[in-house]
Amino acid sequence: MPKDTYYLTAHCPGNLGTVDVVTRYLREQGCYVVEMQTFDDVLSRHFFIRAEFRPPREHLFDEHAFCSEFASRAAGFDMQWQLTARHYRPNVVIMVSRLDHCLNDLLYRYRTGQLAVEIPAIISNHPDLQRLADWHHIPYYHLPVSDENRDEQEAQILGIINECDADLVVLARYMQVLSPAMCTELTGRAINIHHSLLPGFRGANPYHQAYEKGVKLVGATAHYINNDLDEGPIITQGVEMVDHSHYPEQLIAKGKDIECITLARAVQHHIEQRVFLHNGKTVVFTS
């Protein structure tokens, strides 16, 4: 895909002309639509659209003029919208505890250019992954947490996030429950990953519990955080069949692989403006 494209994303109440107001304007501006996806939610009567387009001459494209004119047209539809350049690399702060598989995967995709982001900071409540961050020349903040200093520690985390001007926070197996205030502060811009086993196995050693029950599916869920533990609006999910021949260690290994892929896909969808968060649930236009 050419790097000179832009994402125009919008949502509004579902009314006649919502597609036309976007497509007509792009045509009038001489923009070539590379990809377009729409969804009309008949239950909530809400409309969603994502258009990736290439302007006629990227080096002459006036984003301010484009937005100013489109704003006047979108206002009549009560449309909330956003224009994002594909070449923009959002700042992503990663939070992690001791498990390194998701962090390793994200850093590999970052290092090889598969994930077009900047990572200005890695935050952890343990010192274990300092060397991995150092190898990638990324600042590593070790902020231990306990019941006594939790508020202070979260204030430090938010300070780093704000200082980095983070567009997104990724909890790459950060094994701490965030406070309601923290969740509210990061609404719509913090993604978490966790295993998905059915039945639900909570507490210590979930894969060993799953093995004892003869589980047949191993999966993972990536979602935006909210005040309900591991129950935020879902972005991506992954699943794979297993059987009686998979011992706990094999289930764990398979689960880690699925977590890596599922989390990376969620981050990719987010930075490509494919995810709409509306009324506590998501609309995701997959590639």
Catalytic residue chosen out of the listed positions 4, 100, 128, 230 = 230
pLDDT, tens only, 172-182: 999 999 999 99
Report phi then psi at 62, rounded to 5: -100, 95
The top-scoring range by mean pLDDT among 77-81, 193-197, 199-203, 207-211 is 77-81
Report d(CA 249, CA 256) in Å as an integer.
11
pLDDT, tens only, 18-45: 999 999 999 999 999 999 999 999 999 9
pLDDT surpasses 80 at 59: no
pLDDT at 219: 93
pLDDT at 277: 95
Rounded to two decimals, what is the model's pTM?
A: 0.94
In the chain, the domains with their CATH numbers are: 6-85 (3.30.70.260), 91-284 (3.40.50.170)
Scanning the chain, the segments in alpha helix (DSSP H) are 18-28, 63-74, 101-111, 130-135, 150-163, 180-185, 206-212, 248-271
pLDDT surpasses 60 at 101: yes
Contact status, residue 51 vs residue 22, Cβ threshold 8 Å: yes
Is 228 annotated as catalytic?
Answer: no
